[in-house]
């Protein structure tokens, strides 16, 4: 692997250099204890050690609110937004976040490709960075190592406070062309960092757990605490549900159509004409959320649709933990297996 | 002919009416669509029939009941404006105390001169067709409803928590800043106004139709306030809506 050493102090210079390709987006501080992906205005403000951003990188490919068209009631005409995109470099991206983009690619681009997503997605470059797992990360349990480099053009691996820079694609090579503050070294993939949070089973055993978990008692316990605020799904990097609404201006002559992120955890999500609601109870919604992560899509694609970023857990006001739910389902399954064996 | 529109106020601070008068930029556009025939704070005029009557304030005395019946009889569409009209709002805290005690506190020895009732939502007395929530009522909501009515379209309804808009704006959650917020069980539509300015949501737009109140109380007490205080916060705007 093509590998260079890079001093921590030289990272802002690297970010400035990446700016030659296009807009650079990177993690910044936000509020008291949080982070968010923002456009880089001053490379010294970019944060290299962060746990997770409030919203995932998804927000820059599938924006929370997006205008789709203008329309005129007067002329009975409409005018779709023709999106033009510029090259962008996403810097300081964690491996689970990159994996979430690859999963979103699948959701958005297979079959009928979502054109705005596609336009934003092409012309994108990704520069990864290693991270120190906190109490909520569990990406290793869903098969994503800290140094998983799939999807990245470049990757910064922190070693003894400085970095090793791996070049992973031709695009990556041209990104650093002419950048002088690096020198060739031997790659040493550390593997020293430990995850505190784990799912007890390998992820390839989870579909079987979920196959028998539909009637589990665990769902009711979760539903008792869950207030249905939607934070878990709205901040999830692999969730993609949205709603489309028309807004008419005060002149009542024109307006716009927009789409807005929606969430299956909201009690209105599955409400249909006539007032029927086929997932009215929290218990059904919580179960649905986890089945979307570990069963429905997984059955088709062979991968968990959760990347272990820990957002749903870290941002749940009720402290509901997704890996804990999965571990409880595993435990319940083990008990059932045990009973069965004893009786036979 | 343009729809004839009227505004009436009942027990309230009249903040909602003022909020409408603040719509300077859009006021001229509004007047292209409707004729305002009664609006105590803006003009003085009476009519026999209204296409749309907007009601501000809660119903809290026998004379209020009489007046709202009269207005309902003369109106095709009746809209509750603001928390007081929609669910009794702050006024409904009165209902948490014995009515005699309340009268005495307010009127002292003259209490028998003033007839009073529990503070009620307009919909507790007459049929309400639409509502604009918030304390004060949200201007954008008001405009959207008005336009929808003029166009004969479905009026927007809000039944998703404040957290949704708060997350879409990528606000840092106030629970991460040591505050206690009612956003998870409060109806959104305000663009998460308070949390966006670092202030916790006090629930002014009312409680969701399908809330988990026990779960909400548990969240609040887990974040450092007593159960008593948590209940008080929840009742502030919603004494008529929640039984705790
Ligand atoms: S964030 Fe927590 S409380 Fe909110 S909907 Fe998700 S699980 Fe329920
Ligand atoms: S389910 Fe939770 S941990 Fe998994 S990707 Fe979504 S937010 Fe992250
Ligand atoms: S600050 Fe309040 S409204 Fe915003 S996400 Fe947190 S609990 Fe919800
Ligand atoms: S955030 Fe809460 S208190 Fe503030 S305007 Fe919205 S509903 Fe009312």
- Find residue A29's DSSP bridge partners: A35
Q: Which of residues 216-235 of B touch A (CB under 8 A)?
A: 216, 218-219, 222
B16 and B127: one domain? yes
B132 and B39: one domain? yes
- Grade residue A340 by pLDDT with cuts at 50, 70 and 90: low
Please tell me whether residue A101 adopts helix, strand or coil conformation: helix
- Structural domain tally of chain B? 2
Which residues have a Cβ under 8 Å from the Cβ of A192 and sit 6 or more positions away? none
In a domain, B240, yes or no: no
B113 and B172: one domain? no
Q: Is A265 in the pocket of ligand 1 (CB under 6 A)?
A: yes
pLDDT, average across residues B89-96: 93
In a domain, B91, yes or no: yes
Please give the residue range of the domain that contains residue B129. Answer: 4-151
Question: In which residue are the tokens 């809506």 written?
Answer: B241
B94, B123, B151 - which closes a domain: B151
- Residues of chain B with Cβ-Cβ distance to A229 below 8 Å are 161, 163-164, 183-185
Q: What ipTM score was computed for the predicted complex, to two decimals?
A: 0.94
pLDDT digits (tens, 9 = 90+) for A262-271: 999 998 888 8
B127 and B201: one domain? no
In a domain, B242, yes or no: no
B205 and B143: one domain? no
Which residues have a Cβ under 8 Å from the Cβ of A286 and sit 6 or more positions away? A219, A222, A223, A226, A265
* Statement: residue A197 has pLDDT above 80: yes
Question: Virtual CA dihedral for B178, B179, B184, B187, nearest 10 degrees?
Answer: -160
Q: Can you tell me the distance from the alpha carbon of A309 to that of A137, in angstroms, rounded to the nearest whole number?
A: 5
For residues B207 and B185, is the Cβ–Cβ distance under 8 A? yes
pLDDT digits (tens, 9 = 90+) for A74-112: 999 999 999 999 999 999 999 999 999 999 999 899 889
Q: What is the CA radius of gyration of chain B?
A: 19
Confidence at residue B44, expressed as pLDDT on a 0 to 100 scale: 45
Range name among A136-150, A217-231, B38-52, B72-86 with the lowest pLDDT average:
B38-52
- The average confidence (pLDDT) of chain B is 91
pLDDT digits (tens, 9 = 90+) for A287-325: 999 999 998 888 888 899 999 999 999 999 999 999 999
Interchain CB distance below 8 Å, A31 and B171: yes
In a domain, B230, yes or no: yes
For residues A157 and A190, is the Cβ–Cβ distance under 8 A? yes
- State the best of A25, A231, A261, A317 to mutate against chain B, taking most chain B CBs within 10 Å: A317
Q: Which residue of B has its CA nearest to A235?
A: B167
B181 and B136: one domain? no
Q: Can you tell me the distance from the alpha carbon of B225 to that of B202, in angstroms, rounded to the nearest whole number?
A: 15
B110 and B226: one domain? no
pLDDT, average across residues B159-171: 97
In a domain, B243, yes or no: no
Which of B160, B20, B220, B7 is closest to A245 using CA atoms?
Answer: B160
In a domain, B157, yes or no: no
φ, ψ of residue A190 to 5 degrees: the values are -70, -55
Confidence at residue A344, expressed as pLDDT on a 0 to 100 scale: 47
pLDDT, average across residues B89-116: 91
B37 and B83: one domain? yes
DSSP per-residue codes, A114-160: -HHHHHHHTTEEEEEE-----SS--GGGGT--TT--TT-SEEEEEET
B125 and B39: one domain? yes
- State the best of B143, B163, B180 to mutate against chain A, taking most chain A CBs within 10 Å: B163
Q: Quote the crossing angle between the two packed helices A322-343 and A218-225, to the nearest 10°.
A: 160
Q: Of all residues in chain A, what percent carry a pLDDT higher than 90?
A: 83
* Statement: residue B87 has pLDDT above 70: yes
Residue A186 is classified by DSSP as -
Q: Which residue of B has its CA nearest to A224?
A: B215
Q: How far is CA A151 from the centre of its chain?
A: 14
- Grade residue B46 by pLDDT with cuts at 50, 70 and 90: low
B115 and B140: one domain? yes
Interchain CB distance below 8 Å, A266 and B173: no
B142 and B180: one domain? no
Q: Is A232 in the pocket of ligand 1 (CB under 6 A)?
A: yes
Interchain CB distance below 8 Å, B210 and A30: no
CATH number at residue B96: 3.40.50.700
> How long, in residues, is chain B?
244
Interchain CB distance below 8 Å, A33 and B214: no
Alpha helices in chain A (DSSP H): 11-18, 95-109, 115-121, 170-175, 206-211, 218-225, 231-234, 282-294, 296-301, 311-314, 322-343
Torsion sign (Cα): A232, A238, A239, A242: positive
- Grade residue B155 by pLDDT with cuts at 50, 70 and 90: confident
Question: In which residue are the tokens 């970010």 written?
Answer: A15
Q: Domain locations in chain A?
A: 2-184, 203-343
φ, ψ of residue A13 to 5 degrees: the values are -65, -40
pTM of the predicted model, to two decimals? 0.94
pLDDT digits (tens, 9 = 90+) for B14-39: 888 777 777 777 777 888 888 888 76
Angle at B44 between CA B43 and CA B48, to 5 degrees: 120
B10 and B100: one domain? yes
Q: Which atom of ligand 4 is nearest to the CA of B190?
A: 6
Which of B202, B207, B212 is closest to B236 using CA atoms?
Answer: B202
For residues B89 and B237, is the Cβ–Cβ distance under 8 A? yes
Question: In which residue are the tokens 């919603």 written?
Answer: B238
Q: In Å, how far are A94, A116, A283, B70, B163 from A60, measured between CA atoms?
A: 15, 11, 32, 54, 20
Confidence at residue B139, expressed as pLDDT on a 0 to 100 scale: 87
């Amino acid at each position: 692997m093509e590998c260079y050493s890079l001093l921590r102090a030289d990272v802002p210079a690297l970010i400035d250099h990446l700016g030659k390709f296009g807009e650079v987006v990177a993690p910044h501080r936000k509020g008291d204890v949080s982070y968010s992906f923002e456009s880089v205005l001053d490379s010294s403000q970019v944060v290299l050690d962060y746990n997770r951003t409030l919203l995932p990188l998804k927000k820059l490919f599938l924006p929370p609110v997006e205008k789709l068209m203008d329309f005129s009631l007067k002329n009975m005409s409409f005018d779709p937004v023709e999106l033009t995109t510029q090259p962008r470099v996403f810097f300081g991206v964690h491996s689970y976040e990159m994996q979430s983009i690859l999963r979103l690619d699948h959701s958005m681009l297979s079959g009928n490709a979502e054109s705005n997503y596609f336009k934003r997605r092409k012309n994108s470059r990704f520069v990864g960075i290693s991270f120190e797992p906190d109490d909520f990360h569990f990406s290793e349990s869903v098969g994503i190592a800290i140094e998983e480099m799939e999807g990245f053009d470049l990757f910064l691996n922190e070693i003894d406070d400085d970095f090793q820079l791996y070049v992973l694609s031709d695009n990556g090579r041209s990104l650093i062309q002419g950048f002088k503050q690096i020198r060739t070294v031997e790659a040493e993939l550390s593997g020293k960092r430990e995850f505190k949070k784990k799912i007890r089973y390998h992820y390839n055993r989870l579909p079987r757990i979920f196959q028998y978990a539909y009637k589990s008692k665990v769902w009711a316990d979760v539903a008792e605490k869950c207030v249905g605020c939607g934070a878990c799904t709205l901040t999830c990097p692999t969730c993609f549900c949205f709603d489309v609404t028309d807004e008419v201006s005060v002149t009542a002559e024109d307006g716009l159509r927009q789409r807005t992120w929606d969430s299956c955890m909201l009690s209105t999500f599955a409400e249909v004409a006539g007032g029927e609601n086929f997932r009215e109870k929290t218990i059904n919604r919580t179960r649905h959320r986890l089945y979307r992560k570990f069963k429905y899509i997984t059955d088709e694609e062979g991968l968990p649709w959760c990347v272990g970023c820990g957002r749903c857990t870290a941002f749940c006001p009720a402290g509901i933990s997704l890996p804990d739910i999965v571990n409880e389902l595993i435990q319940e399954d083990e008990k059932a297996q045990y009973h069965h064996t004893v009786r036979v | 002919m343009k729809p004839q529109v009227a505004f009436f106020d009942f027990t309230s601070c009249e903040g909602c009416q003022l909020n409408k008068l603040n719509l300077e930029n859009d006021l001229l556009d509004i007047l292209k669509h409707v004729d305002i025939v009664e609006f105590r704070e803006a003009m003085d005029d009476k009519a026999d029939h209204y296409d749309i009557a907007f009601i501000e304030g809660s119903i809290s005395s026998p004379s209020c009941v009489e007046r709202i019946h009269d207005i309902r009889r003369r109106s095709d569409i009746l809209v509750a404006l603001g928390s007081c009209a929609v669910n009794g709002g702050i006024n409904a805290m009165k209902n948490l105390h014995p009515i005699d005690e309340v009268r005495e506190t307010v009127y002292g020895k003259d209490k028998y001169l003033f007839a009073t009732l529990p503070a009620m939502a307009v919909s507790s007395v007459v049929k309400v067709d639409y509502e604009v929530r918030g304390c004060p009522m949200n201007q954008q909501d008001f405009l959207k409803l008005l336009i929808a009515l003029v166009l004969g379209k479905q009026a927007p309804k809000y039944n998703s928590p404040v957290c949704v808009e708060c997350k879409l704006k990528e606000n840092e959650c106030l629970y991460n800043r040591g505050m206690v917020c009612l956003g998870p069980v409060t109806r959104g539509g305000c663009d998460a106004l308070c949390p966006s300015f670092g202030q916790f949501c006090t629930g002014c737009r009312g409680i969701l139709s399908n809330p988990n109140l026990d779960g909400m109380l548990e969240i609040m007490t887990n974040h450092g306030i007593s159960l008593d205080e948590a209940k008080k916060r929840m009742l502030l705007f919603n004494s008529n809506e929640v039984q705790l």
